Amino acid sequence: MQPVLLVLGALSAFGPLSMDLYLPALPGLAADLGVSSSTAQLTMTSCMVGLAVGQFITGPLSDRFGRRRPLLIGVLVYAIASLLCAISPGAGVLIGLRLVQGLAGGAGIVIARAVVRDLYDTDAAARVFSMLMIVTGAAPVLAPVIGGQLLHVTSWRGLFVVLSLIGCVLLVASAITIHETRRARPVIAAHSAIGDLRAVMQDPRFVGFMLVQAFASGMLFAYITMSAFVLQDQFGFSSQSFSFVFAINSVGLVAAGRFSAGLVGRVGPVRTLVIGATVGLAGAVMLLVGAALAVPVPVPVLLVVLFVTISSVSLTMPTATALGMHHHGDRAGTASGVLGLAQFGFGSVVGPLASVMATSMLSMSLAMVVTTAATCVALGMTIRITSRAGTSPKLGTTEEFSDSPLP
């Protein structure tokens, strides 16, 4: 993998890296600051909100000023905010700094996508986004393990120092490997940003693929939010056993990302997206049926189905991203920001909403069925809208996503 792709993948991993590295330290953080576990969880929520909003804000800015300057500023602020988190005196300050950290980290995520769109056409971009999943998929595997090991020699404050150092390394790496891929526009006006946003949101193809990506991320976040309670409380897994299962499923995301990159080259991005959405829905339905049966299904069978279902995300999300940004090269930052807001915004509410019922295999699989079914519906409607535009519905190519006007 080229050095620039490694750096773009690392920037795309700001989300899981910022949230997962210090997951093992949450109990110690709550005890050290004298707050409840729910208050400690707010440090996670504020970071996720920051990641969503940061992408929405920075994307249009990168269309105005170019990619490089907002990226370097964002990564610099991320490193500084992470260091300030390490010395925060209380939970309130930490929650606020985590919001800033997320806002800055969102710059890396959104601009990484925009740079890919600047450099590659749709088919190639779909393959590159799938390759980036190899890097971003490794973060949920490694981050909790590394965080747990670091806690043997430091506290939760030390983990934020590590995040600050990672930010510094990425700042240097970005400065060296990522050159300007978009020329800044000479006129910087609010109405231009609003016009870009309006153009993006008035494109039904973009909105369709945005919904596909958002619903797919909702399925993934439902799993991330609820799986620890389901596997440990309902099935009696130890924390170590759960970490192993979580790591295996994350490896599945990485492997599926590699498979998706090759599949796009053989059958095209649209058919790859259809395959991913179909596999995800089939797996989620099997999980729901298994959870609802009076006779318990063997746990290994459920784990295999869960592995396949989660891995399907690597076929849907990167491909939907590439197809959604296909017609918006001139406003790739804005398009990327809207996609990021939809992904993290929708994903952040699915888990808590599903948990209101109960943290059980039944509720988790039901949430996964609803989100994967919505993914398939959004995809079907998008393909139908495109076909009605008068273009050829060849699922193996991007011909059906031509620039012909839609009715």
Flag whether pLDDT at 164 surpasses 90: yes
**Domains of the chain in sequence order:** 1-180 (1.20.1250.20), 189-390 (1.20.1250.20)
DSSP state of 405: P
Listed residue (8, 60, 354, 19) closest to 196, CA to CA: 60
Give per-residue pLDDT as tens, 223-250: 876 777 688 778 888 766 777 787 788 8
For 71-87, b where at least 16 C-beta lie within 10 A, e where not — what string?
A: bbbbbbbbbbbbbbbbe
- Give the pLDDT of residue 159: 92
Residue listed under structure tokens 């920051």: 50
* pLDDT tier for residue 280 given thresholds of 50, 70 and 90: very high
Listed residue (211, 210, 207) closest to 373, CA to CA: 211
Give per-residue pLDDT as tens, 29-48: 888 898 886 688 788 878 88
Give per-residue pLDDT as tens, 1-13: 578 888 888 898 8
DSSP state of 296: P
- Give the pLDDT of residue 122: 65
Residue listed under structure tokens 């996720």: 48
- Give the pLDDT of residue 60: 85
Q: What is the CA radius of gyration of the chain?
A: 21
- CB-based contacts of 196: which residues, under 8 Å, 6+ apart? 60, 63, 331, 334
Flag whether pLDDT at 84 surpasses 60: yes
- Give the pLDDT of residue 353: 73
Would you list the DSSP string of 218-258?
HHHHHHHHHHHHIIIIIS---HHHHHHHHHHHHHHHHHHHH
- Give the pLDDT of residue 352: 65
Distance CA 86, CA 77 (A): 14
